[in-house]
Amino acid sequence: MQIYNTLTRTKEEFVPIQNDHVGLYCCGPTVYNFAHIGNLRTYIFEDVLRRTLLLNGYNVKHVMNITDVGHLESDADDGEDKMEQGARREGLDIWELAKRYEAAWMADMDLLNIQRPEVICRATDHVNDMIDLIAKIVEAGYGYIANDVVYFDTARFPKYADFARLNLSGLQTGAGGRATAGEIGKRSATDFALWFSNKPRHLMQWDSPFGRGYPGWHIECSAMSMKYLGKSFDIHCGGIDHIPVHHTNEIAQSECVTGQQFVKYWMHGEFLLLESDKMSKSSGNFITLKTVADKGIDPIVYRYFVLQAHYRSELKFSWDNLEAAQNGLRRVYALRDESDPLKDDKEYEAAYAKAFAAINDDLGTPQLLSVLHTFGSIRLWLAFEPILALNIQQKRENIDAALPEEVLVLVSQRNEARNNKQW
Ligand code: AMP
Ligand code: ZN
């Protein structure tokens, strides 16, 4: 498998750290609202990665976190905690809010045939792991306390700018979303909070050696990924928005303590755009899977729509494009065994190899779909269902059950004629 590594900005051959075992960590949802279809695009990309690793014969340990505390409105420690904001919006207890949207997220995952990671871990269940890691960071000299907040001292970590190729002198002046307003005593604009003890009215609080309070957002991913996958693991994923702040901070927090390379391959999914604007929950500019279902469109059509674009390309959402995807998927469901053009085993093997090469080239889902459409072989489509997960078999059976025998005969005759180019 070739995969594009954000760390080196090149496509590389994938070689796991340990034989055929793959440790995979993906940043999960902040459960203060429904996931929008942009978030879901990222989870579909990660599911395709997982499934492609499995089809290649690897044993995958996939870990995903649930953020239920500490994620502020801005990824750079600014504004209100998103969970508190959500609880106020809905007049709900904050723990109830977390439960509600975790369940909603799982339901979305199921509707999109996204496989459950082996480990799903909530931040609030791992506060002690975070406290331990923060203590190690402070002990190693990378943390300082200012105004009852424990900060990570980015100036002490010389590699800080490398991953995202940041221009630090630009960031010092407050550019790049690293606001410093209200953060008294913070030494540098890129420093970030590990622990807050400055908000006694925050709805979630834990005792810690640094005072009663709650963790910053970034520390949960370092603490939980290393807890379940070890100090160094194979692949870490997320949306591209995570490169300059969240993942940059994860690397700093982890490597300053372990002295080891945190992650071997970093993979990032591009954004789903809505009429040329990025979709975001805070701007209210968002569509959920329920919006799709309410229009009478099967959510799996959205999965197919996402697979039509490469994960590293921006994808524009429109209802017209989704309808076009629906028609494309219907053509797949209409394929029949009797008229399968790949009857010869040698031809089938060659077609299979071509399709496999497409997906193994940095998850080339558009190329894979194009190969499958070109051959128009239902056997070949079904062979890639472990990755595509488009409910092809089930839909075909439903269609067959709904059609009278004489129509099925006609469909089969028409497919046969089409294959023989008898228009
Ligand atoms: P959040 O629930 O806000 O923490 O985001 C969950 C995941 O969705 C993260 O990996 C983000 O990078 C990703 N994400 C956020 N917005 C978009 C978007 N418009 N398109 C694709 N992925 C996104
Ligand atoms: Zn994360």
* Average of per-residue pLDDT values in the chain: 92
89 within ligand 1 shell (Cβ under 6 A): no
236 within ligand 1 shell (Cβ under 6 A): no
Q: Looking at the CA of 241, name the nearest ligand.
A: 1
42 within ligand 1 shell (Cβ under 6 A): yes
159 within ligand 1 shell (Cβ under 6 A): no
pLDDT for position 370: 98
Q: Give the confidence band of 176 by pLDDT, cuts at 50, 70, 90.
A: very low
pLDDT for position 182: 61
Q: How far apart are CA 329 and CA 394, in angstroms?
A: 13
pLDDT at 277 over 70: no
279 within ligand 1 shell (Cβ under 6 A): yes
Q: Which ligand 1 atom minimizes the distance to the CA of 239? A: 12
pLDDT digits (tens, 9 = 90+) for 118-138: 999 999 999 999 999 999 999
Q: Evaluate whether 279 touches 287 at the Cβ level (below 8 Å).
A: yes
Q: Which of 96-110, 174-188, 361-375, 389-403 has the lowest mean pLDDT?
A: 174-188
Ligand 1 pocket test target in 37, 42, 47 with most atoms within 8 Å of CB: 42
pLDDT digits (tens, 9 = 90+) for 141-167: 999 999 999 999 999 999 999 999 998
Mean pLDDT within 361-387: 98
Q: Evaluate whether 279 touches 270 at the Cβ level (below 8 Å).
A: no
Q: Comparing 325 with 179, which gets the higher pLDDT? A: 325
pLDDT at 181 over 60: no
Mean pLDDT within 277-303: 85
Spacing, Cα 251 to ligand 2 middle (Å): 11
pLDDT at 320 over 60: yes
306 within ligand 1 shell (Cβ under 6 A): no
pTM over 0.75: yes
Q: How far apart are CA 96 and CA 365, in angstroms?
A: 38
Q: Which residues contact 244 (CB under 8 A, 6 or more apart)?
A: 164, 166, 176, 177
Q: Comparing 279 with 248, which gets the higher pLDDT? A: 248
6 within ligand 1 shell (Cβ under 6 A): no
pLDDT at 414 over 90: no
pLDDT at 256 over 70: yes
Q: Which ligand 1 atom minimizes the distance to the CA of 271? A: 20
Nearest to 187 by CA among 246, 247, 142: 142
Q: Give the confidence band of 178 by pLDDT, cuts at 50, 70, 90.
A: low
Q: Give the confidence band of 281 by pLDDT, cuts at 50, 70, 90.
A: low
11 within ligand 1 shell (Cβ under 6 A): no
Spacing, Cα 375 to ligand 1 middle (Å): 35
Q: Looking at the CA of 28, name the nearest ligand.
A: 1
Q: How far apart are CA 76 and CA 58, in angstroms?
A: 36
- Where b means 16+ CB within 10 Å and e means fewer, 159-168 reads ebbebbebee
Q: How far apart are CA 366 and CA 358, in angstroms?
A: 8
Mean pLDDT within 314-320: 95
